Amino acid sequence: MVLPTLAIVGRPNVGKSTIFNRMIGERISIVEDTPGVTRDRIYGKAEWLGREFALIDTGGIDIGDEPFLDQIADQAEIAIDEADVILFLTSVEAGVTDADEKVAQILYRADKPVVLAVNKVDNPERRQDIYDFYSLGFGEPYPISGTHGIGLGDVLDAVFAGFPAEGSGDDDDSIKFSFIGRPNVGKSSLVNAILGEERVIVSPIEGTTRDAIDTKFTHGDQEFTMIDTAGIRKRGKVYENTEKYAVMRALRAIDRSDVVLVVLNAEEGIREQDKKVAGYAHEAGRGIIIVVNKWDTLKEKDNHTMQEFEAHIRSEFQYLEYAPIVFVSAKTKQRLQNLPGMIQTVSENQNRRIQSAVLNDVLLDALAVTPTPTINGKRLRIYYMTQVAVKPPTFVVFVNDPDLLHFSYERFLINQLRQTFDFEGTPIHLIARNRK
């Protein structure tokens, strides 16, 4: 399910980055008492009362002649377009300014729920100064202090009242999958080749695809939803506002996906950015298939080329040892007919449930083959195992002391599960709990 999204919007120097950092719980945005410091949108995830939401910090909007103001306004417009609810942030120190009026005009056009907050209300005397902000036309202004965290609970309650109802969104039975990767690896070409028709603009220019595009199709009896995403570029190389927007859409596409296809370029080989891109999907617990595109462009192939390339991938992506690899060509459609079946298999493996009795038979065999280790004179004892979740398959082992489960023995147990059951394409989570 797509996380509801809150965008923090306002003129420069009202404390947007401070509020963002408060909500995220860590210092991500640069905080400086100078207008216009935050020139790029910053994205993150936050939580309120047990429910997660996505958060966008924007650069300020102003009507003066400061550098970057046009670009900042563009970024804010994009963030507003992406948000479910907008937090309109003002400052009690300056009162209602012409720039605040400018922001209000932009927000009137957005047709989104808006929560108005007045920042820097650090003492009771300043609360008397918030009433002027009713003139902005967004109802009751909420007095807050980003520095001290005062009033944020009331603001978040109002924000969540404007979010879509929990559970709304993607509720169909199709298998959702997305292509992710660096720009120009051929993701859009793969979409078109699978569909057999030109549904997505294809161009050799990096970054042509700016948005995530959903396309439904049926293969056999199974319905799929294909999500094409813009390429994810190195953080330091993202110059255009739309590039940062594309990164956010790609990350949100991963959140929506059951299976993620990590696309590599056979011509260029593996780049450091490929590992980071794949890491997004791995950390999200999604099913993963590694797709090596443009295989037809390699001129000097022999019987060992594919094996050598696969060995190189396994060496560079050691954390994805579970992910199947397929070598394809969007241009010639080589092996593309295999992808829908692979995606369906990985999705089934992501949803696989194993009965506790069967799991504990496997556990007993594993303990017999490789007894538990002893750490500092104390032996790990594993009493039983049970599965508690799917997507990804998640197992709990009850032990005498969770600190005694070394990562190497945890990896051994996960490998035993993989050898016994078909979990190809999906990560496995193993959690140790004290039996008491």
Span 38-50, pLDDT tens digits: 334 466 778 898 8
CA-nearest of 85, 84, 32 to 60 is: 32
Give the angle subtended at the CA of 305 by the CAs of 343 and 282, to the nearest 5°.
35
Say what the pLDDT of residue 203 is: 54
Say what the pLDDT of residue 197 is: 57
Say what the pLDDT of residue 254 is: 83
Convert the pLDDT of each residue in 270-326 to its tens digit.
887 778 778 888 988 999 999 999 999 888 888 889 999 999 999 999 999 999 999
Tokens of 165: 């109802």
- pLDDT per residue of the chain (436 residues) written in tens, 0 to 9: 567 889 898 888 888 888 888 888 755 444 444 444 433 446 677 889 888 888 887 764 444 555 555 655 666 676 677 789 999 999 999 899 988 888 888 888 888 999 999 999 988 888 888 999 999 999 999 999 988 888 999 999 999 999 987 655 555 688 999 988 877 788 888 888 888 755 554 555 555 554 555 788 888 889 998 886 655 454 444 434 445 555 566 677 788 899 999 999 898 888 877 787 788 889 889 999 999 999 998 888 888 899 999 999 999 999 999 999 999 999 999 999 999 999 999 999 999 999 999 999 999 999 999 999 998 899 999 999 999 999 999 999 999 999 999 999 999 999 999 999 999 999 999 999 998 7
Q: How far apart are CA 321 and CA 426, in angstroms?
A: 10
| Structural contact between residues 185 and 265, judged by C-beta atoms closer than 8 angstroms | yes
Say what the pLDDT of residue 34 is: 47
Residues 6+ apart with CB under 8 A from 97: 11
CA-nearest of 273, 251, 195, 313 to 326 is: 313
Q: What pTM does this model have?
A: 0.68
Name the 3-class secondary structure at 114.
strand
| Structural contact between residues 398 and 327, judged by C-beta atoms closer than 8 angstroms | no
Say what the pLDDT of residue 418 is: 96
Binding residues for GTP: 10-17, 57-61, 119-122, 181-188, 228-232, 293-296
CA–centroid distance for 48 within its chain: 18
Name the 3-class secondary structure at 212.
coil
| Structural contact between residues 387 and 431, judged by C-beta atoms closer than 8 angstroms | no
Say what the pLDDT of residue 69 is: 59
Say what the pLDDT of residue 210 is: 46
Say what the pLDDT of residue 427 is: 96
Helix (H) or strand (E) holding 89: strand 85-91
The label of the residue with tokens 């306002």 reads 10
State the CB neighbour count (10 A cutoff) for residue 255.
16
Q: How far apart are CA 157 and CA 220, in angstroms?
A: 46
Binding residues: 10-17, 57-61, 119-122, 181-188, 228-232, 293-296
